[in-house]
A and B are shown apart, each in its own frame.
Chain A
Amino acid sequence: MQPLTNRVKVLEPKPLNFMERLYLPNILMGMVITFKHIFKKKATIQYPEQKRPFSSVFRGLHVLNRDEEGRERCTACGLCAVACPAEAITMEAAERKNGEEHLYREEKYAARYEINMLRCIFCGLCEEACPKDAIYLSETFAPANFSRKSFIYGKPDLLIPDPVDAPEDFARAKGLIEDRKQKASKTLTA
């Protein structure tokens, strides 16, 4: 065949020498190598017991944040829904009534807030768009399920635990967020 370029290098395979043609010395050398591998460190991570640390910028499932008194921060402004490139976020706004001040931080709140986790691409643009620090991406990722419907996460699935009712759970979730923020700022400054 005519070469397509003038850079073609024709390689002549060298004929095997006597030791190579015997096969056995080389097979023995290979066996020594595999035997050495018996004593090497295993590369496996035993998953459910051992987990690899997440990257500091890992983006998992969303969390709707509350303030220190347990009030929802979200005001249903819709900036996250606008920012979302996958159009995964839907919300319905409602006005706060008298006597609901302990539930919602501002006069307006999200009566319905849904994220379709099958549409979501976990880009984190909602987190960046939010002016109220109300939405965060956590380190958990979506569990497997049988129906598509179960992947539409509503407010009960997304809200962070109440710091008044369940201070420990809240602290854990919050701690993760704070931790991640610190880590993220560290990587940014570094």
Chain B
Amino acid sequence: MEFLSTDISLILEKFSIIVIVVLALLGIALYTTFAERKVAGIMQDRYGPNRAGPFGLLQPLADGIKLLFKEELIPLASNRILFILGPFIAMFTALITSAVVPWGSQLEIFDRTVSLTIAKPDIGILYVFAVVSIGVFGMMIGGWASNNKFSLLAAIRGASQVISYELAMGLSIIALLFVTGTMNLGEIVTQQMGGGLGGFLGWNVFTQPLGFLIFLVCVFAECNRTPFDLPEAESELNMGYHQEYSSLKLGFFLFSEYINMIVSSAVMATLYFGGYDIPFVNETSLSAAWGNNVVAILGILMLLAKIVFFLFLFMWVRWTIPRFRYDQLMDLGWRKMIPLALANMLITGVITLWLNK
């Protein structure tokens, strides 16, 4: 009986964390669309949206309501089931990537230690990779089912781009695994917290600078962000794979892109920037003084700050550089990133072996 009761509370605990994480992701994604437009405006010497509510803060709500009330169109020549399945897969995969990200250490509520990670598999990184590569199916299926040449072209572009850059991304991750020795995201964070200057020097970005750079570029490609936004190139393919979509299904596609951005920012922060580690602060002595819960919440806020920084970086790059041409994209992926990642892997491997000898 006792066993059963603890099990139920565990389910409740995980369920509430899932609900909070999903809602938070949706909320942040909502305001990321707003921030994108605001950043675009400010970087182009404009104000950006500032009419709906104070500072335009209600703009995402207005956009959402507008999307919701648009007519739901399904092209006659399209494959109905796949057409609906496309945005669903895109949204679903974008959301479930967040399951293995450690959002914080642990909270103590009612004598229970609540871990702030939804799941802690030992193959955390592999899980992220697997789910991200399913994510491209949403784009492909959506583009193909639209029965539109532009959408199909965009879907093919998207698929080949993701495949090309996933290779380099995987290779840069392998180099990182040489250093960490584990694929569990939570353990990677705890390892990084042990470095000098309150964990700051333990961040993997200092041991793997080239790996981080490759990973960053690949994340830009995987999220279909400028300069690699060829699948949704407005000027060439008019909106690309979501050209035929309208109303909430279009909203799902647009939203899943932003959620992907947030989750990959979180993964980047976790892998290379110490996750919820607060730099220049020794967490163990701080939690002795202020209590574990305060430090855990500060850690969550720190991770959020890191995510916000990466989101700003995404936008900053988007409003700075133009789109790559398709052959340039492939050239960069296959002839520059992969050899570079291989070299990085080799050097890291040799150095790790030499240090461990």
In whole Å, how far is A62's beta carbon from the nearest beta carbon of chain B?
Answer: 33
A31 CA / B332 CA spacing, docked (Å): 20
Contacts of B42 in A (CB 8 A): 37-38
Chain B 212-227 near chain A by CB (<8 Å), digits 1 or 0: 0100000000000000
Of the stretches B107-115, B168-176, B231-239, B312-320, the one at the interface is: B312-320
A59 CA / B317 CA spacing, docked (Å): 45
B47 at interface by CB-CB < 8 Å: yes
Given contacts A27-B321, A30-B321, contact A37 B316 (CB under 8 A): no
Contact partner of B44 (CB less than 8 A), chosen from A23, A35, A37, A41, is A37
A34 at interface by CB-CB < 8 Å: yes
A42 at interface by CB-CB < 8 Å: yes
Closest-by-CB residue of A relative to B227 is A27
Chain B 319-357 near chain A by CB (<8 Å), digits 1 or 0: 111000000000010000000000000000000000000
Contacts of A41 in B (CB 8 A): 45
A27 CA / B321 CA spacing, docked (Å): 7
Contact between A37 and B321, CB atoms less than 8 A apart: no
A136 CA / B342 CA spacing, docked (Å): 78
Contact residues, A19-37 vs B (CB, 8 A) = 23-24, 27, 30-31, 33-35, 37
Contact between B316 and A35, CB atoms less than 8 A apart: yes
A40 at interface by CB-CB < 8 Å: yes
A37 CA / B47 CA spacing, docked (Å): 12
Q: Interface size of A by Cβ–Cβ distance < 8 Å?
A: 16
Chain B 298-320 near chain A by CB (<8 Å), digits 1 or 0: 00000000000000000011011
Contacts of B46 in A (CB 8 A): 42-44
Closest-by-CB residue of A relative to B50 is A46
A33 CA / B45 CA spacing, docked (Å): 12
Contact between B43 and A38, CB atoms less than 8 A apart: yes
Contacts of A38 in B (CB 8 A): 42-43
Contact between A37 and B317, CB atoms less than 8 A apart: no
Contact between B47 and A44, CB atoms less than 8 A apart: yes
Chain B CB within 10 A, most for which of A27, A33, A42: A42
A50 CA / B45 CA spacing, docked (Å): 17
In whole Å, how far is A21's beta carbon from the nearest beta carbon of chain B?
Answer: 9
Contact partner of B320 (CB less than 8 A), chosen from A23, A31, A42, A46, is A31
A57 CA / B232 CA spacing, docked (Å): 47
Closest-by-CB residue of A relative to B44 is A37
Contact between B319 and A34, CB atoms less than 8 A apart: yes
A179 CA / B123 CA spacing, docked (Å): 78
Contact residues, B47-82 vs A (CB, 8 A) = 47
In whole Å, how far is A50's beta carbon from the nearest beta carbon of chain B?
Answer: 12
Contact between A34 and B45, CB atoms less than 8 A apart: no
Chain B 30-45 near chain A by CB (<8 Å), digits 1 or 0: 0000000000001111
Closest-by-CB residue of B relative to A38 is B42
B→A interface (CB under 8 Å): 42-47, 213, 316-317, 319-321, 332
Could you name 7 residue pairs across A and B whose Cβ atoms are closer than 8 Å? Answer: A23-B332, A30-B321, A31-B316, A37-B45, A38-B43, A42-B46, A44-B45
